[in-house]
Amino acid sequence: MVRHVFLTGPPGVGKTTLIQKASEVLKSSGVLVDGFYTEEVRQGGRRIGFDVVTLSGLRGPLSRVGSEPPPGRRECRVGQYVVDLPAFERLALPVLRNAGAGSGPGCRVCVIDEVGKMELFSQPFTHAVRQTLSAPGTVVLGTIPVPKGKPLALVEEIRGRADVRVFSVVSGKMSCVLMADACAWKCSDLGPNGATTHFMGSEKLEHRVVLETHLPDTDGLDTPCKT
């Protein structure tokens, strides 16, 4: 049974923007949504790294150009970017653990943007993602990179799971209503008062957002060249 939804596609195609828009649609429909996304950081027109941003508004560094790890800590580097593993784990791990431990009626959605090379330096993160995917009542809406170079074990594991559906984002557009549908179609008791909400073909939902979100080829909210 398909339960989780992941987006994949080339850097800059707009995966993060689509994730954010789908999260807004789900929240406005009474679905509990939490999680994090990664955001490009620029200084003087130049990209200097990436931040991790939780849906509750907390922000911290994921990586920076040319920075050095604190003494005694191993260097986790992807190209020119050095990953700030402690800062990432301080923000991402509590979100995933809360999602996995959620109780009460209804379904909750956990946004994980992304499961990529930088994030996978963290073994606790890898473990937390697996736990979240297996948590009853939790639907994961996430992103994974396109295959490139040496396969990432957890990414391939996600691709091969029977309860995961992977959408490829191409040409800078995709229906965020379709994404919300795909994310929530297996959930029951989605409404705040325990009422079942049917997303597929929902006229009310379709009137609330534009059916197709057209995105530029390079999207500042995505993570170009991050992995």
**pLDDT tens string 29-80:** 888 999 999 999 999 999 999 999 999 999 999 999 986 766 767 789 999 9
Of the candidates 15, 5, 1, the residue with the CA atom closest to the CA atom of residue 226:
15
Rounded CA Rg of the chain: 17
Among 70-84, 111-125, 205-219, whose mean pLDDT is lowest?
205-219
Report the C-alpha gap between 11 and 9 in whole angstroms.
7
Per cent of the chain over pLDDT 90 is: 48
pLDDT value at residue 89: 97
All residues at 6 or more sequence positions from 36 whose CB lies less than 8 Å from its CB, including other chains: 52, 53, 54, 55, 91, 92, 95, 111, 112, 113
The H-assigned helical ranges of the chain are 15-28, 85-100, 123-134, 153-160, 176-184, 203-208
Report the C-alpha gap between 136 and 161 in whole angstroms.
16
9 backbone dihedrals φ, ψ, rounded to 5°: 160, 170
More confident residue, 22 or 62: 62
pLDDT value at residue 187: 53
pLDDT value at residue 207: 26
The helix/strand/coil state of 209 is: coil
pLDDT value at residue 226: 64
Rounded average pLDDT over 128-137 = 93
More confident residue, 143 or 102: 143
110 backbone dihedrals φ, ψ, rounded to 5°: -115, 120
pTM of the full predicted structure?
A: 0.78
C-alpha dihedral over 220, 221, 224, 226, to 10 degrees? 140
* Distance between first and last Cα of the chain: 30
Place 170 in a pLDDT band, splitting at 50, 70 and 90.
confident
